[in-house]
Structure 1
Amino acid sequence: MSDRLKGKRAFVTAAAAGIGRASAIAFAQEGAIVFATDIDEKGLAALASEGVKDAARLDIRDSSAVGALARRVGNIDILLNAAGFVHHGTVLDCSDDDWDFSFDLNVKSMHRTIRAFLPGMLEKGGGSIVNISSAAGVFKAAPNRYVYGATKAAVAAMTRAVAVDFITKGIRCNCICPGTIETPSMLQRAAAAGPGGREMFVSRQPMGRLGTAEEIALLAVYLGSDESAFTTGVAHIIDGGWTL
């Protein structure tokens, strides 16, 4: 631990697994007071042994619940929006319900948390918002990622909009655009693809391996820290060369 986030208060969504979990742990290791949220209460409980002491169940598709928890938590310095869902298929496989669910979870959830916590950041005179987007949809199209790509492109655009609107108020807003990262949800998709599914995902990576959630978390630490004080409105790609 180097105390890069010492004294900062961070709020993390989807913290029970994957990138959210790795980021919550990394924030805590760097000295932040972390408030972790997820719908997976068992996963949240496991964070206590990693130094993340404050956690609560939160359905970020519930605007009232987000607002109530934000009032309970109070002002924060860092907001990490990590919740997301990967829909598989083309436009022909995407029903209205699929579209609505994907945008509600992947985009509107971030709108909810930003609206809830931004006033407190403005009151404090500063804050860093970090949204998890994707290389797919922002920098490159991926097969069978029709609505997923659309949502992640929307996250990048929303990130820039928040950044430009509050750039003179001490607020920074950036997004991280990962490539294929080995997380529980990714491994589920690999398993669903059948025997050799994981190897198929690996074969598409120029580096010959998948990324790790911990590698994404390191970038999240940087963007949450004062080291990135001159950085805002940027989609930071971290994809092992997938988009080259």
Structure 2
Amino acid sequence: MDKVKNTKQGHGTAEANHAQNCSPAPKWAAIVTDALFPMPRRQLVARDMLHQAGVGLDFVLVRDHGSPNDVILADDALVDLAEGNVFRIIPRCEDAPQTPCTGPAKLAFVCDDEWEITLIGKQTGHSLKGLFGLPGDAVLLRDFESPHDQSIADSETVEFRDGPVFTCRNKSASRETKIVVNGREKDVAGKTISYADLVVLAFGSIDPNTIYTVTFKHGPPSKPEGKMVQGDVVKLQCGMHFNVTPTCKS
């Protein structure tokens, strides 16, 4: 892995406006080991990021490029979240020089505490709605450190470096997502679905004498495939496929 001691680049439009005009600063967040953590500003030291994520000093921070040569960040490195805000950690004893990383860093856009990963930093209001599976009548706003959030039009260009945290208003309460359960299309309301709901969709009811195995694929970027057990809930994405298989208890 490539190791970085210190990085510092120019600020984006929203950040620059904040610095020059005392306008509200955009909110920032990072994904660390598949969990979302709000961050106090765009740039902060790697050691402080570990503290914010509740990670002990036995680990080091690694910026995720989806590469075997992901960038290891020294404790005193100044990390610019605009260059990539998806991270993982490794034990400090595994910190060793590696081949320099040339691939793009992963970017996580956040909306109402849900996040989706992309490599594309330049979006539009419309494409962000698609990324989060929001209905067309949703009002997307960039979330600032202020009650006066910025409304984003569908045709408006959205730069990741101007702040990746958004909120959504006027979402359709009855929004439905089309999924496939055991080969049959289903329209379900809401943004998540539970293990129990999937069993009912597949078989009409839950038999207490039956064990159900639930697997899925084509899920959101944060978890595109996996298995579910009783009590689990997963985020939905249009076109997600579920397979529910019954097995009689012995």
Q: Which TM bucket (shorter chain)?
A: under 0.3
Larger strand proportion of the pair? 2
TM-score by length of 1: 0.25
| Bigger radius of gyration | 2
Larger RCO, structures 1/2 (Cα 8 Å, 6+ apart): 1
Larger helix proportion of the pair? 1
